[in-house]
Every structure is written in C-alpha cells, then in structure tokens.
Structure 1
Amino acid sequence: MTDMAQTAAPEIKAVPENLDAAFDDFMQAFEAFKDVNDRRLDEIERKLTADVVTRDKMDRINRAMDEQKKALGQLVLKKVRPALGRLDGPSPEAAEHKAAFDAYIRRGDEAGLRDLESKAFSAGTGADGGYLVPPETDTEIGRRLSAVSPIRALATVRQVSGAVLKKPFSPTGLTAGWVAETASRPQTATPQLSELSFPTMELYAMPAATQALLDDAAVDIEAWISGEVDIVFAEQEGTAFTSGDGTNKPKGILSYTTVADASWTWGNIGYIASGAAGAFKSTGPSDALIDTIYAVKAGHRQNAHFLMNRKTQGEIRKFKDADGNYLWRPPASAGQSASLMGFPIAEAEDMPDIGANSLSIAFGDFRAGYLVVDRMGVRVLRDPYSAKPYVLFYTTKRVGGGVQNFEAIKLMKVAVS
C-alpha cells in the first residue's frame, strides 16, 4: 500500500485547455483517492476509527476530484458548443431571418421580422409582442440546456404548439388469455386509461445592453443573447425538473407522493430505504443500492441512470464490494460519465444531500419516466424605454414537465424504513 506521506492530496489546478489533460488529472486524483481510502478502511478495521489526518486527507481529495470533474465537464461543454450563426450553407430563408433578427435587436427595426412572420402565418406572436429568435440561436440555447440540465438531457423532450400537452396512458395495459382451438373467444377487459396533463409555464430572463454595444458590428448579438440566458434558464429548469411544485413551473421528480416500493401504486413514486437513520448502513451499505436497482423492471433498467449530487457521489465513492472492488468507477474516457455498479451517473446539484429522510438518489429510465415539454421556441421582446440608457431584452421560453411513467423511476430514502 502506498505510504501516507507519499499520497498527497492532488492540487486543485486551473482548468486545462486540453480535454485529455483534464481527464488525466482526474484519473490521477482517483488513484490518490483509492490509496487514502484503503488506508482509512484499514485503520477502521484495526482501531475501529480512522485517524483525523486520514479523514482530512480524504475530504481534501474528494473536493479536488469534484473540482477536476467540474473542470472536465466545462471542457466537454465547450467542445459541444457549435458556433452561432456560422452554419455552412444556410438556406436563403434562414439568412433572411438572421438578418431581420439582427436589425431588430440592434436598432429595433421590426419590419423585416413582421413581414417574415406574416408570410409564415405565424401564430406565435402574442398580444405582448416579441419575435422568435432565428433557428440557429434557438438550437444553441437548447443544446446548452441539455448539457447543463441533466434531467433535460436524460428525459424525453416534446415540442408542442399549444399551452398544454395531454397524454393518454394505460397503467394496466391490455388483457389476454389462452383458449382452445374451437372454443369461443370472450371479450377481454377494456384497459383503464389515464390522462396526464403537462402545462407549459413561462421561464424568462431580461439581459440588458447599452446601445453602444448593439451598434458595434463586431459583437455577435445572437451569441451574446445565448450566453446571457442559457445558464440561468438551465439552472431554473434543473431545479424545477428535480423539485418544482408544479405551480407556475414544471413538477419535479421529488414533488410527487412517495411510498415504500412494496406498497407502490400508479401515481406515486416508490422508494427503497437506506437502512439507517440519516446515513447508509455501516455494514453492507451497498445493499440498498442493489435493492434500488432491482426495484426497476428489466425493460427500464437497461436504459437506467443514477441521479445524485456531488456530495452524495463523494460518499458513494468509498463503497467496495465483498471482493474489495470499488463500486464507483471513473469515466472510461474523456466526455463519458462515471458509473456506479455498471450504470452511468448523472450529476444534479439540485438533488438533496444525504440526511435524515432525504431522497438523495434517483434511479431509473428517465427517458421513459419523465417528459419535458417545450412550446414554440425562445422569444425576444426589445424594450429600449424602461431602463434608459440600457436596452432590455425580455427573453421568454415556455416549458413544462412531469413524470409520465411512474414505474420507470425509483428513489432511495435515507432512512431506516
């Protein structure tokens, strides 16, 4: 085993410019983590407690790993961002829309956009005004949201033109039966149908700019709008998809009624208890994780992810199986997810920390289980009057969300039962 004096906590470095270099830093941190954790477990086995120095070193390495994983994520995010408004060979319609939108943003000249939306018989312009952003900008915001908001990236996303998406669902399915070759075929029972409603709610941001900035032709206005709103939209969405109460916002996974999985019924989300009050069990802590995995049916389990925040992930990194192998595995390569017991982990900071009765871990097929509803696109209303000398850009997006299949997602509750 590596001597403790030689296992220094990895330094929190500046974000490397190279994705491979960032991945190498992360893997070095993980090797240091394993060395120190092995020493901690050995001390607990010999002395029933770990040394203070070892615990402190473990905490510092965990923090360093979190920072390096965040740096790695930033580089992956940067890599997937396409250049705004620089698509090869744009169609004449797209180029015309881009030019008209640029004129509206810079000078408030809305004649071009009004003509374009009139030609398209657009039903999207409401009484409060505003215009749809060009497709390139709308797509860019959507891509960044997928990269920042983990649930949006995992869930099913539907585009709708109305205010509410209504989805019929059969929780019981069809009935069938065996019959003899010449026997009569009695009518099978009619399946029960439930109607799920997913209303879209308004998410807004209002960045401001000076007219001098808008007059500067070197400034990419579309990129500026995306950069201003994408992170705040993603943060609000991530919180709503996780814990939103459904009032003027989407309904989050944790806001539905939860019941012990043995008593699960449609319309509720089942949970598995960790087996200890406010923590995992001291002996066999991974048993509850195994129970959570197998609480999900095989058809959903093959597409499943774990969802948790970084503090919970830092605790689970310490778990080993009976053969001494770590259950948490680092990404196989740069740009991929870490895994737990063979299933990928999506990191969501809006998931609660481990604590008494907290629902700190979700597991399941989020593509089947959760639905995100987007309406129309992103709209911008230019306001040069309310905050002179600044020009405000009232940017809105209508989005909804909720659970669409209650058997596809399970939770872990940090409790005895």
Structure 2
Amino acid sequence: MSEVIEIKAAFTTGDTGDIEGIAWPFGKADRVGDVIEKGAFAGAPTSLPMLWAHDQSQVIGVWTSIIEGQKGLELKGHLLINDVAKAREVHAMVRAGAASGLSIGFQTKSATPIRGGGRTIRSVDLLECSVVAVPANADARITSIKSNSLSNQDVTPMDNEVIEDEAETVDLAETISELKASLAETTKAFDALKTDHQKLATRLNRPGVITAKTEDAAETETKAFRAFVAGDQKALSVTGDSGGKGGVLAPATFQATVQRLLIEASPFRQFASVMTIGAPSIELPVQDSAVQVSWVGENETRPDTDAAFSTLTIDTFGMGAQVSISNDLIADSQVDIMSIIASDFAKQAAKAEGLAFLDGDGTKKPTGLLRNANVAVQDATGTTLAIDDIVDLTVSLPNEYARSSKLFMNRKTRAALRKLALAEAPDAWGDSLAAGTPSTFLGFPIIELPDLDDVAADATPILFGDLAQTFRVVDRAGLTLFSDPYTKAANNMTVVHVNRRVGGAVINPDAMTFYTMAAA
C-alpha cells in the first residue's frame, strides 16, 4: 500500500539552501494514530528526492543524508535554489514562516492494527520526503532559521520549548555503551546469517536437488484478491493493513492499476496537477500579493515588500461504485479478475469526477472549475463561434500562463472551430500529424473535455489556460473494498463495492479564462 502521511517535523534551512530536520519522531503517533517504530526505516536509500507538497512534478531538492537517530528519522539535504524557481519560492516561504513542516511518502511493508485506531508500523519502504506548509500535527514548525549574517552558533529561537530542546545534553559514556551492545548483537546476527548461507550453499551444490518454486509478492497478492472476491473476507490480510468500515484496504497492485486507468480515462486528470495525501483534507499556501521590486540607489534603503500568504483548504469526498462479476469468471483462473474490476471502476470514476471537477456544486463532491467566480470570463460577440473572438481569447492571459496554455472544448465544438478556421483562417489551424498529438489553433493545442458545453446561447464551450496551474486534484491514499456474494447469488453474480476519496479546487484563477457565448 502506498501512503503519504503528514507528521510532526522540525527543520532548519540556511541562505545557501541547506536543510535538515526530523522527518518522523519515534514514539509519537500522527493524528490518525499511526506509530512508526525505530528500525522501520532500515534499508532506506542513501538519498531521496525532495518534493513540494508531494507533487512529483515539483522536485525542489535532494536529501543526501538519511539516518535513524535517537529522536527520529533525521534528514539532511539542500534546496536547488540556484537551478529551480520553485525551490527558491519554497526557500522564501520557509524563511518567512509560511512553510513549516516535513512529510514522508512511503510504502508499508509490515504493520499491526492498534485497538481504537491507527497502526504500529514496523517496516516501510521510504520513497520521498516533502516540504509542506501545514503538517498534520499542529505542533510541527521550524525551530530556527540560520542566516549568513550571524555566526555559526547563532540561531533565532522560536519559543521556550525550542530553547529547552537545544539545552538537552547526552551522556556520552551511556551512548558508547549502547553502541557497543548494539554492535555485539549485530555481529552475532551476522555470524548466524553467514552459517545459514554456508549450509544453503552446500545443499544447493548437491547433485539432484530440486528446490521448490517460491511465489513473488504480486502472485501472492493476485491469489489473495481472487479469494477475497470469491467471499473470503480475510484473504487480503496477506497484503498488509486492513481498515475502513465494512471493507478492507485494497492491495497495492489494484490501487496502482486503478490510478493508471483513471489517468488514461480522464482528460481532466491528464492536464490538472494531482497529488496524494494521507489525511481527509489538506491546506495549501496561497500567495495573496507578490513581492514588489523597486529601483534604488547604491546606498538607499531597500523597500520592505514581504509577500502575503493565506491558506486554501481542499477537502476529499467519498466516491463509490459496485462492480458485478460472474462467479464463473471468478472461478476461472485464466481470467484477471483484478484488472476487470479495476477497469470498470476506473471508467465510472473518471466520468463522475471529470464532471464534478468541471461543474460540481460542492455538495458531497468538489466545487467545479466553472463555478469559480474568480476566473476571468470573455464574452463572445454572438451565439456562434467567431474567429476574431477566439483570437482575442488566446491573448487574454498574461505571458507567464499563455506560454503553457491550451484550448479545452468538446468534440462538437472542436469540429465547428475546425470548419470555421479552414474557411476563414486556414493558416491558423494545424491538423495533427501523429497519433496522440493534438490539433492546434494559432499554435495552441486543442484538448477534448467531453463534459464542456456545446456551442449555444449562454453556454461556456471553451476554456483557455494552463489547467495544471489552475486546478489541483487531491487523492486520499487508499481504496477500500467490500465483497458481497449474496445480493445477486440467484443470478450467479458477486458484487464488489469499491470506495475512494477524492477532492479538487481552483488554486490559481489567474491562469484560466472562460469563453461564454452571448445570450439568445
């Protein structure tokens, strides 16, 4: 299961972009009750990507030191402030106090449920660590910010708690004693492993020995999924954790397949920015005012123009579907039941969420892009398409957004625009010369969104802008499943219920323009 969990973390950063902190404090649960034990990060890689808010398209640095210390998982790295614009922006937010936490992304390998909620996690695969604005734990914050204007020993304490923490001392003799004991245990375990290896090598070298074939994780998971669909509600315990009311957590392979199919089936997801979170909602920083730059003389005081930030909360909403499967198909070992269920659910989910992302009313679903009053609207001169109107639309955005903008419309509108362009401005239209490459108008790609309006009075048939900078899709980590072999037993069918949580919101209305037809 792939998860992203917000945690309490404290870190420092310097003017050169160096950054360090505790990404997970041992012995402390996060707000959903999960506790990761010391030793769970054994085998962690020597370096990790540093992301902004778990967005894989926004790599802002690299973690170069990953150590399990006495207090927790200690990371050191540096922001790529000389090469990546987003890294410089995050660096400024950290120094201004607008971004104050760390959050790790990992895949659970071994865990045990805790009575009352949460889990004790004993082993994970660490995938990445992100800088975030609002961590899940309210106490997570930056303890100090280093500055080149201070000496190496100078820091700015944030409160008394930090001062007391800096004043803690370590009994060196006790630490050395613990290290010696740990080294002795490690040496003993290595000797035992070496002996076992020698015995195994001797056995394999004997003639005529045939060893049993072992199943890999994917094969084991596939068999468990088939058994679960057939009615064994405990079959998926081999995949890891269970949770969710009335169901179990879907295996990692199933979740990955659904996610891939969702992207393939949803044009909106392909062009919006997408992130995964481990909580029911997330708060994102929004820059309300930009830094102002002024011309000044050599000895004049530079004006104080700090940027102002606020937060945007994106909630996730439940989405469910039921897939009916023939019991004969379930019994047929040659049929990939997991792929069938994943495909059916992904198609239904992509259609439902695509409509919600465009025109959702916010009731048990996200508020759609078309309902955001802060997005600019360009009114057409009539109730039919006009070349001059579309040309004006393509220059309606600032250059910083126009360079990566696209024209979004449904298939009927695209056909009407092509006919109009070929009749009145043939040089403006560019047909696609390769599969998967969109046609263009004035050099801007034309992307089909089937849920947009047809051309009609008062309709909004075309969007122009950069959807990735305009809209953020948020997926809640984890799908839950429930197998019902009884409701349609008379029809020789089993019903599998699939549930997930997803949200979305406009994060930057300045990067999009609506094209609205005139009234009748």
Q: In structure 1, what is the Cα distance between the partners aligned to 2:248 and 2:318?
A: 14
Deviations for 1:177-232, whole angstroms, at most 9, x for unmatched residues? 333222234432x4332321211111111011233321121211112112321211
| Higher Rg of the two aligned structures | 2
Name the SS of the counterpart of 1:393 in structure 2.
strand
Q: In structure 2, what is the Cα distance between the partners aligned to 1:329 and 1:141?
A: 34
317, 320, 326: which one pairs with 2:418?
Answer: 317
Q: In structure 1, what is the Cα distance between the partners aligned to 2:364 and 2:275?
A: 19
Alignment match, 2:509: 406
1:194 maps to amino acid: S
Alignment match, 2:281: 164
Name the SS of the counterpart of 1:400 in structure 2.
strand
Alignment match, 2:232: 108
Alignment match, 2:249: 131
Deviations for 1:367-416, whole angstroms, at most 9, x for unmatched residues? 11111111113332112233334321011121111211110111101127
Deviations for 1:77-107, whole angstroms, at most 9, x for unmatched residues? xxxxxxxxxxxxx994444333322322234
Alignment match, 1:301: 402
Checking the alignment, whether the CA contact within 8 Å between 1:338 and 1:345 is kept in structure 2 is yes
Judged with a 3 Å threshold, the aligned counterparts in structure 2 of structure 1 residues 199 and 183 are, in CA distance, closer, same or farther, namely same
Q: In structure 1, what is the Cα distance between the partners aligned to 2:462 and 2:415?
A: 13
Determine whether 1:205 maps to 2:310. Answer: no
Alignment match, 1:11: none
Name the SS of the counterpart of 1:290 in structure 2.
helix
Checking the alignment, whether the CA contact within 8 Å between 1:331 and 1:338 is kept in structure 2 is yes
Judged with a 3 Å threshold, the aligned counterparts in structure 2 of structure 1 residues 388 and 335 are, in CA distance, closer, same or farther, namely same
Name the SS of the counterpart of 1:377 in structure 2.
coil
Judged with a 3 Å threshold, the aligned counterparts in structure 2 of structure 1 residues 91 and 168 are, in CA distance, closer, same or farther, namely farther
Name the SS of the counterpart of 1:386 in structure 2.
coil
Q: In structure 1, what is the Cα distance between the partners aligned to 2:285 and 2:215?
A: 38
Q: In structure 2, what is the Cα distance between the partners aligned to 1:287 and 1:180?
A: 46
Checking the alignment, whether the CA contact within 8 Å between 1:270 and 1:410 is kept in structure 2 is yes
2:436 maps to amino acid: G
Checking the alignment, whether the CA contact within 8 Å between 1:133 and 1:380 is kept in structure 2 is no
1:251 maps to amino acid: T
Alignment match, 1:175: 292
Deviation at 1:250, TM superposition (A): 1.9
Deviations for 1:261-309, whole angstroms, at most 9, x for unmatched residues? xxxxxxx010111112x223xxxx2111122111111111111111111
Deviation at 1:133, TM superposition (A): 3.1
Determine whether 1:279 maps to 2:402. Answer: no
Judged with a 3 Å threshold, the aligned counterparts in structure 2 of structure 1 residues 117 and 175 are, in CA distance, closer, same or farther, namely same
441, 450, 461: which one pairs with 1:340?
Answer: 441
Judged with a 3 Å threshold, the aligned counterparts in structure 2 of structure 1 residues 321 and 97 are, in CA distance, closer, same or farther, namely closer
Name the SS of the counterpart of 2:477 in structure 1.
strand
Q: In structure 2, what is the Cα distance between the partners aligned to 1:184 and 1:231?
A: 60
Name the SS of the counterpart of 2:436 in structure 1.
coil
1:396 maps to amino acid: N
Alignment match, 1:247: 363
1:168 maps to amino acid: P
Q: TM-score w.r.t. structure 2 length? A: 0.55
Determine whether 1:269 maps to 2:375. Answer: yes
Deviations for 1:157-184, whole angstroms, at most 9, x for unmatched residues? 1011111121111032223333322223
Alignment match, 1:359: 460
Structure 2 spans left out of the alignment, 5+ residues? 1-213
Q: In structure 2, what is the Cα distance between the partners aligned to 1:165 and 1:289?
A: 37
Alignment match, 1:220: 336
Could you say what the CA RMSD is over the residues aligned between the two structures, in angstroms?
2.4
Q: In structure 2, what is the Cα distance between the partners aligned to 1:242 and 1:349?
A: 10
Name the SS of the counterpart of 1:126 in structure 2.
coil
Checking the alignment, whether the CA contact within 8 Å between 1:306 and 1:344 is kept in structure 2 is yes
Name the SS of the counterpart of 2:461 in structure 1.
strand
Deviation at 1:366, TM superposition (A): 0.5
Q: In structure 1, what is the Cα distance between the partners aligned to 2:319 and 2:450?
A: 20
1:279 maps to amino acid: T
Alignment match, 2:8: none
Checking the alignment, whether the CA contact within 8 Å between 2:457 and 2:519 is kept in structure 1 is no
Alignment match, 2:123: none
Determine whether 1:99 maps to 2:217. Answer: no
Alignment match, 2:500: 397
Deviations for 1:316-340, whole angstroms, at most 9, x for unmatched residues? 1122389852533221212211212
Judged with a 3 Å threshold, the aligned counterparts in structure 2 of structure 1 residues 105 and 235 are, in CA distance, closer, same or farther, namely same
What is the number of equivalent residue pairs in this alignment?
A: 305
Q: In structure 1, what is the Cα distance between the partners aligned to 2:376 and 2:301?
A: 41
Name the SS of the counterpart of 2:419 in structure 1.
coil
Q: In structure 2, what is the Cα distance between the partners aligned to 1:145 and 1:279?
A: 34
2:388 maps to amino acid: D
Q: Which structure's relative contact order is higher, taking Cα pairs within 8 Å and 6+ residues apart? A: 1
Deviations for 1:218-252, whole angstroms, at most 9, x for unmatched residues? 21111211232121111112211111112111222
Q: In structure 1, what is the Cα distance between the partners aligned to 2:215 and 2:411?
A: 44
Judged with a 3 Å threshold, the aligned counterparts in structure 2 of structure 1 residues 211 and 318 are, in CA distance, closer, same or farther, namely closer
Checking the alignment, whether the CA contact within 8 Å between 1:98 and 1:134 is kept in structure 2 is no
**Structure with the higher fraction of residues in helix conformation:** 1
Checking the alignment, whether the CA contact within 8 Å between 1:162 and 1:375 is kept in structure 2 is yes
Displacement over 4 Å in runs of 4+: 321-324
Checking the alignment, whether the CA contact within 8 Å between 1:274 and 1:416 is kept in structure 2 is no
**Structure with the higher fraction of residues in strand conformation:** 2
Structure 1 spans left out of the alignment, 5+ residues? 1-89, 258-267
